A and B are shown apart, each in its own frame.
Chain A
Amino acid sequence: AQSVTQPDIHITVSEGASLELRCNYSYGATPYLFWYVQSPGQGLQLLLKYFSGDTLVQGIKGFEAEFKRSQSSFNLRKPSVHWSDAAEYFCAVGVREYGNKLVFGAGTILRVKS
């Protein structure tokens, strides 16, 4: 069965510091992978996605993620965090057999300290 693991429940970084959020997935085929962000009381906004091709994908707000098939990982990175990045981040795998339904990880809450 498909699954996504985000091992860090909370992460705190200083403003201006670099960020890496970890994501590991389990899926039997080449995955579709996504990172979404959720601010308090809001819906989920897509940051970036990987379907094929270049394994380093760029997203909105300066985020990027790298797909590593050998490690079944899709870690999210940002070189310099801003206070407005504080939110909850979800990694997801798309199950193509079911219209690309998403299986989500548990989420990582990012806190940014000034």
Chain B
Amino acid sequence: DAGVIQSPRHEVTEMGQEVTLRCKPISGHNSLFWYRQTMMRGLELLIYFNNNVPIDDSGMPEDRFSAKMPNASFSTLKIQPSEPRDSAVYFCASSPTGGGTEAFFGQGTRLTVV
């Protein structure tokens, strides 16, 4: 398997624009997580899906952020409108359902909002 695939790897956008980050989890994994990494706040969980259903979105910072998982092989994280403080590295991770398993991370998307 190719692992968790994220696109794009880098994104530079202007403030106010819409940004969409994409993730393809490992086939057969039932759990998908979106994390954000910043110098100030470290690694934070934004949202967690299980079997394509959002289970915990308490980490989503505000209504400008939304995430979807239309099927088991694809998820998106959208920011609209984007702001400079959204600049961060966004990671997607997937995991088989059940205890005793680790999360597998993608390479991340480095977002810069100018």
Check if A100 sits within 8 Å of B91, measured CB to CB: no
**Residues of A participating in the B interface, judged by any CB pair closer than 8 Å:** 32, 34, 36, 42-46, 49, 51-52, 90, 94, 96, 98-107
Residues of A within 8 A of B101 (CB): 100
Q: Assuming A32-B100, A43-B91, A90-B43, is B56 touching A101 (CB within 8 A)? A: yes
Q: Shortest CB–CB separation between residue A103 and chain B, in angstroms?
A: 7
Check if B42 sits within 8 Å of A104, measured CB to CB: yes
Check if B102 sits within 8 Å of A34, measured CB to CB: yes
Q: Which residue of A lies closest to B41 (CB)?
A: A106
**Residues of B participating in the A interface, judged by any CB pair closer than 8 Å:** 4, 30-31, 33, 42-43, 45, 48, 50, 55-56, 91, 93, 95, 97-108
B45's contact among A34, A45, A101, by CB below 8 Å, is which?
A101
Q: Shortest CB–CB separation between residue B47 and chain A, in angstroms?
A: 10
Q: Which residue of A lies closest to B48 (CB)?
A: A101
Which residue of A34, A94, A102, A105 has the most chain B CB atoms within 10 A of its CB atom?
A102
Q: List 8 A-B contacts (CB under 8 A).
A: A32-B99, A46-B102, A51-B99, A99-B31, A100-B103, A102-B103, A104-B42, A105-B42
Q: A99-B97, A101-B45, A105-B42 known; 10 other A-B pairs, CB under 8 Å?
A: A36-B105, A42-B107, A43-B105, A46-B102, A98-B56, A99-B95, A102-B93, A103-B45, A107-B42, A107-B43
Residues of B within 8 A of A98 (CB): 48, 55-56
